[in-house]
Structure 1
Amino acid sequence: MVLMGALSVALGLLPGAAIRHWLYPVHYAQAVQDSAERHGVDPSLVAAVIKSESNWVSTARSGAGAEGLMQLMPATARELADRGIVDGSVYDPDDLSDPATNIEYGTAYLATLLDSAGSTDRAVAAYNAGPGAASAWGGGDSDFRDAIEFPETRLYLEKVTEAYEQYRALYPDGLVDDAVTR
């Protein structure tokens, strides 16, 4: 509790930009912006997924085999390339450790989920648990969160939602203008 109080006081003394870059950083901002525009996804949502999936660590790898910033499964990337959703000649689906490539495939996948799921909550849950699991959870939009059967997915949705709200509030002029370059 004391640590939380000290952190709150310290954050109150830091200028807004410092808080932004410390708590909710943005790396690879141009790649995020470009992919988000190409696929019709809010760049702040892409940033929130990246923060929640890998905390901006491009070399992240899960035990299940998900790779990179957006923790994408290689089979998902190949499917997106095979379907022509992502240009595999520009973005190699076997090179998910490359930040721009991972962001392109992850954003494209998120866009397909947003198109099919009908709501941001359902799309984010599907990104974590898979589209089959998310579509099996009934409930209208107002009680969808309560219908999620996987505790990990429920927590993931809360984490992404919080990050999404923070990115939108802390970067009102867009991610590229204030981003930390990397």
Structure 2
Amino acid sequence: MNKLMRILRKKSVLLVLFLGFMFVLFVQSQWLGRWMYPIHYEDSIREHAAKQDLDPLLVAAIIRVETNYEIGRESRKGAIGMMQLMPTTADWAMKQMKLRKMWTVDELRREADPNIQIGTWYLRSLIKQYDSNTVAAVAAYNAGPGNVSEWLRSNKWDGTLESAKQQIPFNETKLYVQRVFHYYEKYKRVYGT
């Protein structure tokens, strides 16, 4: 019986040490963090975010929530590509950007770089529209600027992240804003600011 107790104690100690090691590895490991929170198309995201004076980690968080970096996605409502642009919004943005090349809906669906280019421009335009209120801009990226402007104008929502969960009228947008800023914080911890 004593021999069995010693074996169990040794195994318990080894298990506790192993779990402690795994915890430290999980919490402290940048490699593990990058594995759990990868950023695909990082060069394209950084390039286009820099051109729009955006934090590339915020752009990455939006892409993560929108499509988890899957090219070729189309939503039930018709939003296309990794950044889930509505074709009419993408067309409007390309005209506003005065691009030499106007991409087709199919190209925007299949190709990451132009989708990111237009998506970052559109996000910057929303941030300008909401006087640098990034939270309101992210909500508008999901719900549309007309809805968000109405919520702010009618005091349904005060435009802050803290009140988003209680005040945003659309459940989808409420969850969207929370998820984007959740991943944004994770990315900042893993990749730095």
- Give the TM interval when normalised to the shorter protein: 0.7 to 0.9
**1:155 counterpart residue number:** 175
| Structure label with greater radius of gyration | 2
**Offset at 1:12?**
4.3
2:120 is equivalent to residue 107 of structure 1: yes
For the residue of structure 2 that corresponds to 1:137, the secondary structure is helix
Mapped partners of 1:79, 1:86: distance in 2 = 10
Give me the TM-score of the superposition, normalised by structure 2. 0.77
2:131 is equivalent to residue 137 of structure 1: no
Instruction: Output the aligned Cα RMSD.
Output: 2.3
2:118 is equivalent to residue 98 of structure 1: no
Judge which range, 135-144 or 69-78, deviates more.
Answer: 135-144
- The share of aligned pairs that are identical, in percent, is 36
Which 5+ residue runs of structure 2 have no aligned equivalent? Answer: 1-19
2:182 is equivalent to residue 169 of structure 1: no
**1:34 counterpart residue number:** 47
Length, aligned pairs only? 165
**2:7 counterpart residue number:** none
**Offset at 1:22?**
2.6
Contact preservation (8 Å) 1:86, 1:104: no
**Offset at 1:147?**
2.6
Q: Which has the higher contact order (CA 8 A, sep 6+)?
A: 1
**2:25 counterpart residue number:** 13
**Offset at 1:64?**
1.0
Where has structure 1 moved over 4 Å in runs of 4 or more?
8-12
For the residue of structure 2 that corresponds to 1:40, the secondary structure is coil
**2:11 counterpart residue number:** none
* Superposed counterparts of 1:57-136, under 5 Å: 57-83=70-96, 85=97, 87-89=99-101, 92-94=103-105, 95-96=107-108, 97-118=110-131, 119-136=133-150
Which has a greater percent of helix?
Answer: 2
**2:14 counterpart residue number:** none
Mapped partners of 1:54, 1:60: distance in 2 = 7
Give me the TM-score of the superposition, normalised by structure 1. 0.81
Mapped partners of 2:158, 2:65: distance in 1 = 25
